């Protein structure tokens, strides 16, 4: 178990892996995630969404972006290597029903966690519009897979190299202004993007679900690392989420908590790259 069965580089910093995890593959539902460790002893535990599963092969698929030490380490694993620890499926599955018109807004790596959700919404009979946003064309992933699911696919890039030159909130606003406005919007991506998606839909009173990517440690509701304020309540993303009503989430508090360890993360990344690749890292852009 936990052996890497397949590895593919999807773009400069994004990797897809299929891991042997037959029990997780049997149980998982759209919206759930795993926690893995790349080091045996003192390695940190990081959460990654289960992007897909194959019960015949007994595998789950993860798609991750290298952003720091642990994801950089994970990217060095190859087919046949074994991960020291893998836990899941965790979190509550996405609530799927026939809402009517569903709009899935994905920013950057958010396309990976959105893929099984868009598929489940389509299977439930929804009219599915997928909006994918990326800085530039090279960073768009899973476009072919999403176009096979979506009734309508809108691509946005910051530099206009693919689709429309706009932020994802521009087509989202247009959809909200149509006579047949969305019955549900699901947004997954960087916290700032999810915040602005929620602000875009708020005046139109379109229910907007966001999938929160807080820092996690144990993933079982005990450490408090993933605490967020939702409305007047305190929630733990690992057990109460990861999905919440975006109009109620205190994004500013969440973003501040996510940035709390930036300096330490930079130092650990720099030390890891210097040790593992024998490289002198002067500038670390995370
Ligand atoms: P670091 O340099 O340590 O951190 C970079 C940034 O990542 C931090 O500033 C912080 O914002 C975040 N982060 C750091 N440590 C953690 C942690 N233990 N838990 C959560 N976030 C952390 N990323 C993907 O690429 N693909 C996914 O499918 C995916 N799914 C996720 C699902 C959930 C439920 C959550 C909460 C996060 C998900 N993430 C996903 C984000 C991923 O966990 C972080 O990018 C990863 O932990 C960064 O680790 P690092 O050591 O490489 O980077
Ligand atoms: Fe520890 Fe959620 S990760 S409480
Ligand atoms: Mg880290």
- β-strand pairing of 243-245 with 208-211: antiparallel
The single residue listed with the structure tokens 């593992």 is 276
CA–CA dist 41, 38 (Å, integer): 9
Residues 157-211: pLDDT tens digits? 999 999 999 999 999 999 999 999 999 999 999 999 999 999 999 999 999 999 9
Question: What's the rounded mean pLDDT across residues 245-257?
Answer: 96
3-class DSSP assignment, residue 5: strand
CA–CA dist 208, 244 (Å, integer): 8
Judged by average pLDDT, the poorest of 9-13, 97-101, 132-136, 246-250 is 9-13
Pocket test for ligand 2, best of 36, 212, 216 (most atoms within 8 A of CB): 216
Q: Is the CB of 236 under 6 A from ligand 2?
A: yes
Residue 26, exposed/middle/buried by CB under 10 A (0-12, 13-18, 19+)?
exposed
pTM of the predicted model, to two decimals?
0.93
CA–CA dist 37, 142 (Å, integer): 26
Q: Is the CB of 225 under 6 A from ligand 2?
A: yes
What residues line ligand 1, using a CB cutoff of 6 Å? 33, 44, 46-49, 63-65, 67-71, 109, 112-113, 213-216, 242, 258, 262, 265, 269, 286
Domains in the chain, CATH or no CATH each: 4-90 (2.40.30.10), 101-258 (3.40.50.80)
- Of 196, 186, 241, residue with least CA distance to 214: 241
Cα–Cα distances (Å) from 229 to 8, 200, 233, 253, in that order, read 37, 20, 6, 8
CA–CA dist 163, 132 (Å, integer): 9
Q: Is the CB of 170 under 6 A from ligand 2?
A: no
Q: Is 20 in contact with 1 (CB distance < 8 Å)? A: yes
């Amino acid at each position: 178990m936990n052996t890497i069965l397949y590895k593919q580089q999807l773009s400069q910093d994004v990797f897809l892996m299929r891991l042997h995890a037959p029990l997780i593959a049997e149980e998982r539902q759209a919206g759930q995630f795993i926690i893995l460790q790349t080091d045996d002893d003192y390695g940190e535990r990081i959460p990654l969404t289960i992007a897909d599963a194959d019960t015949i092969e007994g595998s789950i698929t993860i798609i991750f972006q290298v952003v720091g030490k642990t994801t950089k380490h994970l990217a060095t694993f190859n087919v046949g290597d074994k991960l020291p620890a893998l836990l899941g499926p965790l979190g509550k599955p996405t609530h799927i029903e026939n809402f009517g018109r569903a709009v899935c807004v994905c920013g950057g790596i958010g396309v990976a966690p959105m893929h099984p959700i868009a598929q489940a919404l389509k299977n439930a009979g929804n009219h599915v519009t997928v909006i994918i946003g990326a800085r530039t064309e090279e960073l768009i992933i899973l476009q072919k897979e999403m176009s096979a699911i979506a009734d309508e696919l809108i691509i946005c890039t910051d530099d206009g190299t693919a689709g429309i030159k706009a932020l994802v909130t521009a087509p989202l606003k247009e959809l909200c202004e149509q006579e047949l406005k969305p019955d549900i919007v699901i947004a997954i991506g960087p916290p700032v993007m999810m915040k602005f998606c929620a602000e875009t839909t708020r005046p139109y009173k379109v229910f907007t679900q966001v999938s929160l990517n807080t820092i996690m440690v144990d993933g079982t509701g005990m450490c408090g690392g993933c605490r967020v304020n939702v409305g007047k309540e305190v929630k733990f993303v690992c057990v109460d989420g990861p999905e919440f009503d975006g109009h109620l989430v205190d994004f500013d508090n969440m973003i501040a908590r996510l940035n709390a360890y930036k300096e330490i993360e930079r130092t650990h990344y720099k030390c890891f790259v210097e040790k593992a690749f024998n490289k002198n890292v002067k500038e670390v852009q995370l």
